[in-house]
Chain A
């Protein structure tokens, strides 16, 4: 009679909160119970040489050993690059390999769909686990400022990767080190190289250029584009406009085709990733524009490298993603285990890949799955 359907959800809320707490208690107990701590007694025999007579002193040291196969440390690697993004695959590989070699459990967290909210929420959740270190991309320093300072104040070491806090040292988030290169710098470096290449090979600057962006709003791509535009502006040229080609290859092909028809003076198509490089390549082949229109690309994959080999692509930029995964884990380990402070900035790129250094790149791809 008293458990009527309409009976206040308030009472039910009370019951469920109680059950929730009980459940937590049970789980917590189970968790503790399944990770036994074993006490080992270790005898250490020390020989003490005294001035007169050597004495043998036996000390007994008690060592607590966790369950077998437990890694020494737990690091969280939080990045804005999610599972669907092929560029981050070597990063994840690098991080996991480093973890395996060093006996560190590396938990990689990347979003399905990136948002600042996702980044901060994930950071706060990971911090609740009080890991031994956190490696994170400072994709948005304003949003991450307070949460990271809190994490650092709690004693968790933080290493920044792939995107740093751009502010000067006294103002920026006090993470231990930054591993990586800036996407904007990558764009800038590539554009500068392209301009130099044009000067050297054709004696002039390109008459027109366009940036094919395949995902508008994607922070990494926007930064690459911004870098390219900056380089052009600095050289006194009109910055190339951004063209939304979408992630659909057929649409991209047709959008580029239409654009080239409308702007016949375009000589360089900057593609911000393989999703742009592939349709651009096909277009240049189909329209026999080799030698008239060039591609300058980002990231490395088979087709892009072939493109360079054939001379359609002037160069591509590698951020050394594997290093960006591997190195932060190593530096965090050195800090946590041995107290070795890493240098402020550990650059991993940009590496401009041209026809000349292709063989090395092939090796890297073979061994790490990316470049």
Chain B
């Protein structure tokens, strides 16, 4: 956790799809090097919020302030330029292509040969090897088809790609949902590494326990409204689950923040 100006501030974001109001004035702050767990039941608006942050959708009203300046993203490319990336659960990598091709997709390293531009495969493979080593995937050939890697490795590679290209804020959409326990651990480890590098993460997940293992703060959305925004240790995972399931009044937990109550770890 760090201090200083927040990296991202969403102020009163409203988003409508036809007659349906997906987000009814959501505000959110993400600090540098902070991991925010964004949770809530289906239809709560988590995906919509994420898509607005990455520029896929434009909010109907509300402000987005990134690194202290108000911004308006017209497309994901705009957001990417500012350093905001999203790693989708199942849309991160092209399974039939090799690791290095995936890593550098749409950001290929090229070399010129007269008037022609060709891929600099040597450099890309080298960088890929380095990156794989950084993530902790050893003995991996950059030529290997991504589809042949395990789910955890794929997820890590996708995140590493975002990081490598200078993301300051990475949004993870259900990163562990399709993974085994061992692989989930690996990914969560990697997420912690990101934190140590000063990169902020918003993690959307249904698995509260996974969220708990990395998050600094928990934000709960319910039908387009933010109903809870507390430091992680303010509540237990079970309590969060109860809040989502409408079995527990979120105000009771929110109060604890002002009283600086912490749940024993």
Direct A–B touching, Cβ under 8 Å: yes
- A interface residues (Cβ-Cβ under 8 A, vs B): 4-6
- B interface residues (Cβ-Cβ under 8 A, vs A): 98, 143
**Can you spell out 4 A-B residue pairs with CB atoms less than 8 angstroms apart?**
A4-B143, A5-B143, A6-B98, A6-B143
Complex CA distance for A251 and B143, rounded to whole angstroms: 58
Complex CA distance for A5 and B99, rounded to whole angstroms: 13
A5 CB contacts on chain B under 8 angstroms? 143
B120, chain A: closest CB distance, angstroms: 14
B100, chain A: closest CB distance, angstroms: 10
Complex CA distance for A61 and B35, rounded to whole angstroms: 102
A155, chain B: closest CB distance, angstroms: 50
Which 4 A-B pairs give the minimum distances between C-beta atoms? Answer: A6-B143, A5-B143, A4-B143, A6-B98
B108, chain A: closest CB distance, angstroms: 15
Chain B minimum-CB-distance residue to A6: B143
Complex CA distance for A4 and B125, rounded to whole angstroms: 14
B98 CB contacts on chain A under 8 angstroms? 6
Chain B minimum-CB-distance residue to A7: B143
A90, chain B: closest CB distance, angstroms: 55
Chain A minimum-CB-distance residue to B145: A5
A201, chain B: closest CB distance, angstroms: 75
B109, chain A: closest CB distance, angstroms: 16
Complex CA distance for A246 and B98, rounded to whole angstroms: 52
A197, chain B: closest CB distance, angstroms: 71
B128, chain A: closest CB distance, angstroms: 13
Complex CA distance for A5 and B141, rounded to whole angstroms: 11
Chain B minimum-CB-distance residue to A5: B143
Complex CA distance for A4 and B143, rounded to whole angstroms: 9
Complex CA distance for A6 and B98, rounded to whole angstroms: 10
A292, chain B: closest CB distance, angstroms: 68
A6 CB contacts on chain B under 8 angstroms? 98, 143
A328, chain B: closest CB distance, angstroms: 56
B143 CB contacts on chain A under 8 angstroms? 4-6
B143, chain A: closest CB distance, angstroms: 5
Complex CA distance for A5 and B98, rounded to whole angstroms: 11
A7, chain B: closest CB distance, angstroms: 10
Chain A minimum-CB-distance residue to B100: A6
A4 CB contacts on chain B under 8 angstroms? 143
Chain A minimum-CB-distance residue to B98: A6
Complex CA distance for A109 and B261, rounded to whole angstroms: 93
A10, chain B: closest CB distance, angstroms: 15
Complex CA distance for A6 and B99, rounded to whole angstroms: 13
A220, chain B: closest CB distance, angstroms: 49
Complex CA distance for A214 and B132, rounded to whole angstroms: 67
Chain A minimum-CB-distance residue to B142: A6
Chain B minimum-CB-distance residue to A4: B143
A26, chain B: closest CB distance, angstroms: 34
Complex CA distance for A148 and B236, rounded to whole angstroms: 90
A12, chain B: closest CB distance, angstroms: 15
Complex CA distance for A81 and B113, rounded to whole angstroms: 54
A238, chain B: closest CB distance, angstroms: 64
A5, chain B: closest CB distance, angstroms: 6
A181, chain B: closest CB distance, angstroms: 60
A4, chain B: closest CB distance, angstroms: 6
Complex CA distance for A151 and B98, rounded to whole angstroms: 52
Complex CA distance for A6 and B164, rounded to whole angstroms: 25
B237, chain A: closest CB distance, angstroms: 45
Complex CA distance for A4 and B121, rounded to whole angstroms: 14
Chain A minimum-CB-distance residue to B121: A6
A97, chain B: closest CB distance, angstroms: 57
Complex CA distance for A171 and B208, rounded to whole angstroms: 90
Complex CA distance for A23 and B143, rounded to whole angstroms: 32
Complex CA distance for A6 and B124, rounded to whole angstroms: 14
Complex CA distance for A5 and B143, rounded to whole angstroms: 8
Complex CA distance for A6 and B128, rounded to whole angstroms: 16
B146, chain A: closest CB distance, angstroms: 13
Complex CA distance for A4 and B144, rounded to whole angstroms: 10
A1, chain B: closest CB distance, angstroms: 10
A355, chain B: closest CB distance, angstroms: 71
